[in-house]
Chains A and B, each alone.
Chain A
Amino acid sequence: MMETGKPEKLIVDGRRLDGRRPDELRPLRLKAGILKRADGSAYIELGKNKILAAVYGPKEMHPRHLQQSDVAVLRCRYNMAPFSVEERKRPGPDRRSMEISKVIREALEPVLFLYLYPRAVIDVFIEILQADAGTRTAGITAASVALADAGIPMRDLVTGISAGKVDGTVVLDLMKEEDQWGEADMPIAVMPRKKRITLLQMDGNFTREEFRQALDLAFKGVDLIYEAQKEALREKYLPSLEEEK
């Protein structure tokens, strides 16, 4: 497709535009429990992405007709701040954010024991403050830390990352330019302990071999991010545990 501003090459001598190798993540920062009012919260920076996640609940579901008699309802809202992208984004939900909210909900549901809280609701809010590709997967990474921070029982955390193809090379964790001009993007979310895939999307072009390589890379990325998630939770809760001793 004819597009303006595309650099001639996105990978030069095995290095990407920001100097990374194909299998490297962007710099990652993850913190648990940074909002006071929310039951659980987390903040993630992945490259230039800045994302907040907050969890409220389990609490009584209103309006009541949305209650389910046998399980809790998980509600997810993925939302981009108007100032999070180059051109101002019109505030409020659009078709993209509605679809992403749905797939994020379906990515998180497998780790929760929703049958423990019939008639209740768990609200997950993901706010993209600054976007640079990979926001839905970074949002999932933060949201699952926020769920744990809220003290909600979980089978595992959920870890999100994207893999894709740029200049014919399979790469991990696409940045904005690579997402825009690359040949494929595959967001994926995994329950790391048992390698269960809870979100999978892809657009572009993958041969069978590239698909396999992308999965390999994604799983490697997931292991690294999983450690950072656990570390963020330890960082918040270890001091208070020490005090109790």
Chain B
Amino acid sequence: MKGKMKELVSSVKRDHLVELALQGKRVDGRALDQYREVSVERGVIGTAQGSALVKLGNTQVMVGVKLEKGEPFPDTPASGILVVNAELLPLASPTFEPGPPNEDAIELARVVDRAIRESQMIDLEKLCIKEGEEVWAVFIDIYVLDHDGNLIDASVLASVAALYDVKPPAVEEWTLPEFPLTKKPAAVTVVKLNGVMMVDARLEEENIAEARLTISTLENGDICAMQKGGSGFFDREELEKAYELALKCGEELRKKL
């Protein structure tokens, strides 16, 4: 099986899941547009400036935010730095292995990075201490603890929750009255399983889906990031449908923050 996020599924189970999908049903009784139980717990790690543990059903993702002083990038001398990293820990799945991040981990980190960065939820300009010399760097570390599907949505939700948990006074020589946050992006991943579109796929659904599309939206309905994945395709009507789902479910996810 290529890609360590996916696992082999028996043909009996595959046929069963496809059969259900065609009737608009799912193996755990959910509707196609329904998330598993969502829980967001903030402030779970004392040594991080901000942290959160998100559960989507059995999927568990922890995010820690660290703030450090650093040098700005030469092309953005007056802007703070955002760094997103994701670890698919070997304890989270029998298919995850120790070692440097593979393409799945890199894609996850970069998709979360764009959802956060492009939403402009962090006012990076306010994180400038001295132009060209010193700025605050925000490190978002995503720790996948238990992989039962839909890591992207769980990771974005945990990252946004952890950012809203940041307590700057705990940092030495903090230079701002507060951590400058403005918006709440929400990522919703829609998978296509035998032509049927559904949100928040659990692992066995994800394993047999043809393709996925993640749409990150803001409170006003604007799109700030998208990413298609998987070996299948979407047509234009399916994009529209995915966008509707992203709006509806994004609003529900935001309420959990």
Interface residues of A (CB under 8 A from B): 1-4, 68, 73, 95-96, 98-99, 101-103, 106, 109-110, 186, 191, 194-208, 211, 215
Contact = CB atoms under 8 A, between A and B. Distances in A.
B118 interface: yes
B2 to A, nearest CB: 7
B239 A197 contact: yes
5 contacts: A4-B77, A106-B231, A197-B234, A201-B226, A202-B227
B154 to A, nearest CB: 19
Nearest to B124: A1
Contact of B222 (A3, A201, A206): A206
B233 A2 contact: no
A204 B118 contact: yes
A237 to B, nearest CB: 27
Interface stretch (B87-95, B103-111, B161-169, B199-207): B103-111
Contact of B106 (A73, A98, A197, A205): A98
B172 interface: no
A49 B75 CA distance: 22
A1 B225 contact: no
B47 interface: no
Contacts, number: 95
Nearest to B118: A203
Interface string B73-113: 00111110000000000000000000000010011011000
B6 to A, nearest CB: 12
A197 B103 contact: no
A99 B225 contact: no
Interface in B116-145: 117-118, 124-125
The 6 closest A-B pairs by CB, nearest first: A202-B226, A196-B233, A109-B231, A200-B228, A2-B78, A203-B118
A199 B228 contact: yes
A96 to B, nearest CB: 8
B136 to A, nearest CB: 15
Contacts of B213: 200
Chain B interface, DSSP helix/strand/loop, else mixed: mixed
Nearest to A183: B118
Nearest to A1: B79
A208 B225 contact: no
Nearest to A219: B236
B230 interface: yes
B103 A200 contact: no
Contacts of B211: 106
B236 A99 contact: no
A68 B2 contact: yes
Which of A195, A199, A205 neighbours the largest number of chain B CB atoms within 10 Å of its CB? A205
B118 to A, nearest CB: 4
B118 A215 contact: no
Contact of B103 (A102, A195, A199): A102
Interface string B228-242: 111111111001000
Contacts of B78: 2
Contact of A200 (B109, B118, B234): B234
B229 A106 contact: yes
Given A99-B103, A99-B107, A106 B222 contact: no
Given A4-B75, A95-B110, A106-B231, A207 B2 contact: no
Contacts of A3: 75-76
Given A2-B125, A200-B213, A205-B118, A103 B228 contact: yes
Nearest to A199: B228
Contacts of B76: 1-3
A30 B151 CA distance: 39
B221 interface: yes
Contacts of B239: 197, 200, 215
Nearest to A198: B233
A66 to B, nearest CB: 9
Contacts of B79: 1-2
Interface string B176-206: 0000000000000000000000000000000
B44 interface: no
Contacts of B225: 202-203
Contacts of B229: 103, 106
